[in-house]
Amino acid sequence: MALGEQRSPVVVGHVGIEVSSVDRSKKFYKTLFEALGFKVIMDTQEGFALSNGSVSLWISGVPESRVRRRAPTGEEFVVADHLAFLVHSREAVYGIERQMKRKGFVPLFPCEEHPEFEAGYHAVSFCDPDNYVIEVYTRSKLT
């Protein structure tokens, strides 16, 4: 048996993201992840965390960024440095886009189908204040 082949499949438990300003990033991440059903589980001056009970996202401020990102242009074959969250339906993807727009966040890539990935793949992507890309997507063939 391989190391990852225990009684359940390997899943992501948590993700950590360094940001240049915790205060500036809070509105973005709370708006997006609370719309995805996450709850705040920690909130301090140094950072905050959100969880949906299965996966948690830890946002931490750093005195000096180790990485500086530019927003993708749309010309990339794959935006390699991003997080993508799978939701249950196309309506959920479009709902996230509406919620984020209501709070003043403009999509990097608006909601649309991406048949180049597979038929039925609908996604919306946003850049956080440090240009980290967060995608919300669904697939017709959820597995």
Q: pLDDT tens digits, residue range 38-82?
A: 999 999 999 999 999 999 999 999 877 676 777 877 777 666 678
What 8-state DSSP symbol labels residue 55? -
CATH fold label, 14-138: 2,3-Dihydroxybiphenyl 1,2-Dioxygenase; domain 1 (3.10.180)
Name every residue whose Cβ is closer than 8 Å to that of residue 141 and which is 6 or more positions away in sequence. Answer: 118, 120
pLDDT of 1 higher than 50? no
Q: What is the pTM of this model?
A: 0.83
Name every residue whose Cβ is closer than 8 Å to that of residue 133 and which is 6 or more positions away in sequence. Answer: 71, 72, 79, 81, 82, 83, 108, 125, 126, 127
pLDDT of 126 higher than 70? yes
